[in-house]
């Protein structure tokens, strides 16, 4: 069964290591949404009233904007070896 959640990006942090021109990655923090004035948010809050997610992204083409809400879709992965 697939599950959809609604989270807002709250923080973007750039992490660098080594010299100034060496590698870097961005970390994003997300929190479950809840706005009493938005009917969709009220529905999501009943199923997931709280939650957080932190991810690190190395791909420069993938960005998230703090303050922007995103849907997160969770779909089970088939067992290894299953077709």
pTM for the full predicted model: 0.77
Q: What is the pLDDT of residues 28-70, one digit of tens each?
A: 999 998 888 888 888 877 777 788 999 999 888 999 999 999 9
Sheet containing strand 24-32, edge to edge, reads 52-57, 24-32, 3-16, 69-74
pLDDT for 10 equals: 97
Q: What is the pLDDT of residues 20-38, one digit of tens each?
A: 666 778 999 999 988 888 8
Counting Cβ atoms within 10 Å, is residue 75 exposed (0-12), middle (13-18) or buried (19+)?
A: exposed
* Domain locations along the chain: 3-17+24-74
């Amino acid at each position: 069964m697939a599950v959809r959640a609604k989270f807002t990006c709250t923080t973007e942090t750039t992490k660098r290591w080594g010299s100034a021109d060496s590698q870097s990655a961005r970390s994003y923090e997300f929190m479950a949404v809840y706005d009493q004035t938005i009917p969709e948010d009220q529905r999501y809050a009943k199923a997931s009233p709280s939650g957080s997610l932190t991810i690190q992204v190395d791909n420069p083409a993938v960005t998230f904007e703090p303050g922007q809400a995103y849907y997160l879709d969770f779909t089970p992965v088939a067992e290894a070896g299953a077709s």
